[in-house]
Structure 1
């Protein structure tokens, strides 16, 4: 065998291995027997070649190719390769499901109510199921579109609010208030740590003093004290009554006008006599060393 033949065989083997590797990566097993079916859609929703084909959640095949059906405009034919043992009952459908991340897979919805089966090469009807993404597109997108003008209005109002100088002033006031609260907190901590023990000690002293006073008050004979007070008040009452009656000297002094007038007259005469005595002492007192003289 010449060197050129060896190189050719090595190239053919490398090409075959490359083709096998590419198909293996696509999920196509070239050494496994398979049946081919066709599924017809009006919209494949982004289905790609080599996508898996499932039946009852189990992978049974692979999308082999996707071709536009020029004989039936508006239709796309998908060729699927399924396991040789897989038999598809008539009435089954190929459903395209759009997953959350946007990938599309094919589910074979098998009709288990018949014993008739499609033959390899037959065409199955296809349907689409937009899944959660479709529901979101159908229901959420219109709502989002309705909310967009409101969101725009809210953003404009928010921009006006943020641009308002009053907001900046409010923030500064809040900062000052926070600083004042911090100072107040430190002062309260200082008071709690330094002044409060002294105040507590003074309160304890005052409490002790009140206790001593309370003990002293307990030793007072309130009954005897109030009895003496009552006796004193009674004597005051008797004195008051005597002062208002005329059967005693003090009562006459306060209540008899005649006695008062006589006393006033006597006082006035005594005063006049004293004045005359001061003015004419010789009328009342005579002193003589040689005896009394006739006037």
Structure 2
């Protein structure tokens, strides 16, 4: 009896675990197994981006989800999608299930009800429509513009290539490089100059101090000059100058002895003749001294 009870417990545990695993997987897929649903089927030729548990919406409100996606091997090129819709939702005949893609590539199924008064039975096939994605629409819209732009881009690239290969531009770039190098050298020289500025400023300070000392000395000299009798000195100089002018004037006139000596030609000639006579006498005296000095008799 104990052995039978133990096997029963193990079997129940395995069954419970299997149920939990089954319902847990569906729950993780977003499928509410405790909510009643009606199942409909849609055949598509392209379900790109659509996945199991993708939402099914009506007027922007979620009314169900994708239950399963399988390939139709008996109808090549088609994919069967099973939709689980709210059991209260009645689908009019001729309604469409449209696969719509957002800009991120996520697909949803959008129900577009028809205006028919009769409704589909549960398990019927709905009309499947696949809308082009926003990326595809954008690509189709941009294709004409891109086609018209490409020749212009090609022309622009050709012009750019011609500009880049222009020798004048290359020379300009080289000149810019040379200017940049010169600026760098000037900056380095300026930095070195600024680095020596403290020593230069100290030297300038010493020079300024010396100039102050010289200025003070000049002020002292100026005061000494102010105290000198400059007026009396200038009067004496003027007096001396007047006397010299008077003497010079007398030398140029013949109304005085010095003037006559300097300006009388006859007197000059006489003095010159006397000088020559004296010179002749002295020469003869040197040659014949006995003629002028009698001999001394010794007794």
- TM-score normalised per structure 2: 0.51
Q: Which of 4, 18, 23 pairs up with 2:21?
A: 18
On the 8 A contact 1:98/1:134 being kept in 2, the answer is no
Aligned pairs for 1:1-295 within 5 A = 2-111=5-114, 113-141=115-143, 143-144=145-146, 157=160, 161=164, 165-166=170-171, 168-169=173-174, 171-172=176-177, 175=180
Kindly state the Cα deviation for residue 72 of structure 1 after the two structures are TM-superposed: 3.2
Q: Rg larger in 1 or in 2?
A: 2
Q: Distance in 2 between matches of 1:38 and 1:138?
A: 31
Q: Distance in 2 between matches of 1:141 and 1:174?
A: 47
- TM-score normalised per structure 1: 0.52
Deviations 1:209-253 (Å, cap 9, x if unpaired)? Answer: xxxxxxxxxxxxxxxxxxxxxxxxxxxxxxxxxxxxxxxxxxxxx
Q: Distance in 1 between matches of 2:162 and 2:9?
A: 77
Kindly state the Cα deviation for residue 125 of structure 1 after the two structures are TM-superposed: 0.8
| Structure 1 runs of 4+ with >4 Å offset | 141-160, 162-168, 176-183
Deviations 1:121-161 (Å, cap 9, x if unpaired)? Answer: 11111111124212123222565477568767867856993
SS in 2 for 1:67: strand
Structure 1 unaligned blocks of 5 or more: 187-295
Kindly state the Cα deviation for residue 15 of structure 1 after the two structures are TM-superposed: 2.1
With 4-13 and 23-32 compared, the bigger mean Cα shift is at 4-13
On the 8 A contact 1:161/1:167 being kept in 2, the answer is no
Q: Distance in 1 between matches of 2:164 and 2:138?
A: 33
Q: Distance in 2 between matches of 1:170 and 1:54?
A: 68
CA 1:12–1:107: 2 relative to 1, 3 Å: same
Q: Distance in 2 between matches of 1:14 and 1:81?
A: 25
Kindly state the Cα deviation for residue 68 of structure 1 after the two structures are TM-superposed: 2.5
Q: Distance in 1 between matches of 2:138 and 2:90?
A: 35
CA 1:174–1:95: 2 relative to 1, 3 Å: farther
